[in-house]
């Protein structure tokens, strides 16, 4: 199996994906600055698979050199998760999101190309589409005017990497995620953000009485007045990255691909479902902070993922909730740092 360099490996999606890669026999070179990731997640994986299979470097893509890592390990593919990703926070710190997400990506790809690494799976986002002009959202949907600073940062990264793809042998699969939920199937790896900014995670935390649950959306034009989103399980999302690696290894070209379920649930529907699954009628409070420019409905068209990657979601919303309940019962505050 090839060696794969994974940036942002100590984060939520990164650590779940590393687990899947290691289980398939890949050697993983993990990079994370641990500003939002967790050393405990890396320790867990190294205990499970051995430090020889998972080699960890604490590095910051925006300031640290990575040439020695490429020289030492010769990765065949990069999976690039490392980014700040809180949409709400990005409104207050747009300069931080551009500096970290865009400049970090630029420095990473320059180093990669200098070391003849020409395959990348890039962690992108449905926020590049802005508000939906039609549904379901396919990959041809306009991305010219994302409405959040976070979405802008991802859109710029896509444009930079697309430019390199046109001017070099670089091939990139841009995976545009919709809303992520769940934990690893056994509940051993999950979301440690405290508080999380993911709805399903926060609602499960509310059901388990770990933290009060608050609604932070502005009213929108949907049947129950709450936003409708496409919630994809984090293991299914991680498996999409493995499929993207295999696609590139087969000689696949640069492509943008949506990763979601193709169905949508409103915020209030999610809360009802979690109350039913947990058996807890937890209180729901209105937050004093409301999200700006909330889209009414965002649902993915996932036919391209099925066609090019032979990928489709396998895990239900109830499975996502159940795995999160296991995770948060064992780790009510997430990983220790």
Measured CA to CA, the distance from residue 97 to residue 153 in angstroms comes to: 7
Nearest to 123 by CA among 165, 82, 183, 65: 82
150 is catalytic: yes
Cα–Cα separations (whole angstroms), residue 106 to 98, 122, 166, 268, 310: 11, 12, 15, 40, 30
Q: 29 in a domain, yes or no? A: yes
> Please, which pLDDT band fits residue 293 given cuts at 50, 70 and 90?
low
| End-to-end alpha carbon distance in the chain | 31
Q: What is the mean pLDDT of residues 318-333?
A: 97
Peptide bond into 293 cis (omega under 30): no
* pLDDT for the residue 197: 84
Check whether 337 has a pLDDT greater than 80. Answer: no
Beta bridge partners of 77: 4
* pLDDT for the residue 291: 66
* pLDDT for the residue 48: 97
Measured CA to CA, the distance from residue 9 to residue 34 in angstroms comes to: 9
Instruction: Say what angle helices 39-49 and 12-23 make with each other, to 10 degrees.
Output: 10
Cα–Cα separations (whole angstroms), residue 195 to 172, 242, 295: 32, 29, 22
Q: 27 in a domain, yes or no? A: yes
Q: 292 in a domain, yes or no? A: no
Tokens of 205: 């935390």
Measured CA to CA, the distance from residue 181 to residue 198 in angstroms comes to: 7
Q: What is the mean pLDDT of residues 62-91?
A: 95
Which member of 12, 49, 150, 231 is catalytic? 150
* pLDDT for the residue 144: 73
Beta bridge partners of 39: none
Check whether 319 has a pLDDT greater than 90. Answer: yes
Q: What is the mean pLDDT of residues 202-214?
A: 95
Q: 275 in a domain, yes or no? A: no
Q: The domain spanning residue 29 has which CATH number?
A: 3.40.50.720
Measured CA to CA, the distance from residue 248 to residue 241 in angstroms comes to: 11
Q: 164 in a domain, yes or no? A: yes
Measured CA to CA, the distance from residue 91 to residue 98 in angstroms comes to: 11
> Please, which pLDDT band fits residue 217 given cuts at 50, 70 and 90?
confident
Whose structure tokens read 């995976």? 175
Determine the structural domain holding residue 65 and report its residue range: 3-181+231-260+299-313
Nearest to 190 by CA among 22, 13, 319, 322: 13
Tokens of 306: 């099925």
Looking at every residue in the chain, the average pLDDT score rounds to 95
Q: What is the mean pLDDT of residues 243-268?
A: 97
> Please, which pLDDT band fits residue 289 given cuts at 50, 70 and 90?
low
> Please, which pLDDT band fits residue 20 given cuts at 50, 70 and 90?
very high
Q: 284 in a domain, yes or no? A: no
* pLDDT for the residue 286: 81
Write phi, then psi, for 31 (nearest 5 degrees).
Answer: -125, 130
Q: 156 in a domain, yes or no? A: yes
Q: 83 in a domain, yes or no? A: yes
For 140-192, write each residue's pLDDT tens digit: 999 877 888 999 999 999 999 999 999 999 999 999 999 999 999 999 999 99
* pLDDT for the residue 168: 96
How many domains does the structure of the chain reveal?
1
């Amino acid at each position: 199996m090839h060696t794969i360099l994974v940036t942002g490996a100590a984060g939520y999606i990164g650590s779940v994906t590393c687990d899947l890669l290691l289980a398939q026999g890949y050697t993983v070179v993990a990079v994370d600055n641990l500003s939002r990731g967790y050393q405990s997640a890396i320790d867990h994986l190294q205990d499970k698979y051995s430090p020889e299979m998972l080699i960890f470097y604490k590095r910051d893509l925006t300031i640290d050199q990575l040439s020695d890592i490429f020289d030492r390990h010769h990765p065949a593919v990069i999976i690039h998760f490392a980014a700040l990703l809180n949409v709400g926070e990005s409104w207050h710190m747009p300069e931080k999101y551009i500096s970290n997400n865009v400049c970090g990506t630029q420095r990473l790809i320059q180093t990669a190309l200098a070391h003849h690494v020409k395959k990348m799976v890039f962690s992108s986002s449905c926020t590049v589409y802005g508000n939906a002009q039609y549904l379901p959202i396919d990959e041809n949907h306009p991305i010219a005017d994302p409405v959040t600073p976070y979405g802008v940062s991802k859109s710029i990264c896509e444009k930079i990497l697309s430019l390199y793809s046109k001017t070099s042998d670089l091939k990139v699969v841009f995976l545009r995620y919709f809303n992520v939920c769940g934990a690893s199937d056994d509940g051993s790896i999950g979301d440690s953000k405290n508080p999380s900014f993911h709805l399903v995670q926060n609602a499960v935390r509310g059901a388990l009485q770990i933290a009060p649950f608050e609604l932070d959306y502005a009213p929108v034009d949907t049947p129950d007045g709450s936003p409708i989103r496409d919630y994809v399980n984090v293991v299914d999302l991680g498996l999409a990255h493995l499929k993207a690696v295999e696609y590139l290894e087969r000689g696949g070209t640069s492509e943008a691909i949506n990763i979601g379920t193709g169905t949508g649930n409103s915020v209030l529907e999610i809360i009802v479902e979690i109350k039913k699954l947990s058996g807890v009628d937890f209180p729901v409070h209105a937050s004093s902070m409301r999200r700006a420019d909330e889209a009414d409905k965002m649902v993915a068209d996932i036919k391209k993922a099925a066609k090019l990657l032979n990928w489709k979601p396998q895990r239900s919303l109830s499975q996502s909730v159940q795995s999160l309940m296991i995770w948060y019962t064992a780790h009510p505050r997430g990983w220790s740092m």
